[in-house]
Amino acid sequence: MPMTAISRVHAREVFDSRGRPTVEVEVTCGNSRTGRAIVPSGASTGRFEALELRDREASRFDGLGVRLAVAHVNDEISQVLIGLDANDQKSIDQRLRELDGTTNLSRLGANAILGSSLATAYAAAEAKGIPIVEQFRDVWQRVYIHSEFNATNHHDCGCHLGSRPLLPVPMVNMISGGLHAGRNLDIQDYLIIPVGAEHYRQAFDWIVSVYRRLGQLLVSAGFEGTLVGDEGGYGPRLTSNEHALDFVLRAIEASNLMPGRDIAIAIDVASTHFYHNGAYQLTATENARLDADDVVDMLERWVDSYPIISIEDGLAEDDWSGWQKLTKRLGDRIQLIGDDLFATNTDRLQRGIDNRVANSVLIKLNQIGTLSDTMATMSLALNHGYSPVVSARSGETEDTTIADLVVATGVGQLKVGSVARSERLAKYNQLLRLSENPDYGYLGGAVFGHRSRSVS
Q: How far is CA 244 from CA 1, 54, 156, 338, in A?
A: 58, 35, 29, 22
The CA R_g of the chain, rounded to the nearest whole Å, is 21
With 0-12 / 13-18 / 19 or more C-beta atoms within 10 angstroms meaning exposed / middle / buried, residue 138 is middle
CA dist., res. 13 & res. 107, Å (int): 18
- DSSP-derived 3-state class of residue 185: coil
In this structure, the number of other CB atoms found within 10 A of the CB of residue 328 comes to 12
- Minimal CA–CA distance to 422: which of 447, 452, 400, 445? 400
**Catalytic hit among 49, 52, 231, 317:** 231
H/E stretch holding 389 reads strand 387-391
- How far apart, in whole angstroms, are the C-alpha atoms of residue 172 and residue 266? 9
Per annotation, catalytic residue among 364, 396, 423, 427: 364
Q: How many CB atoms lie within 10 A of CB 107?
A: 15
Is 90 assigned a catalytic role? no
Which phi-psi region, left, alpha or beta, contains residue 390 (left: φ > 0; alpha: ψ -120 to 50)? beta
Q: Give 177's contacts (C-beta < 8 A, 6+ positions apart).
A: 183, 184, 185, 186, 187, 188, 189, 190, 229, 235, 241, 244, 284
d(CA 397, CA 341): 25
Query: From CA 39, how far away is CA 29, in angstroms rounded?
Result: 21
Phi, psi angle pair for 25, to nearest 5°: -125, 140
Query: Is-catalytic flag, 364?
Result: yes
Give the H/E segment covering residue 265.
Answer: strand 264-268
CA atoms of 437 and 357, how far apart (whole Å): 37
- Return the active site residues: 231, 364
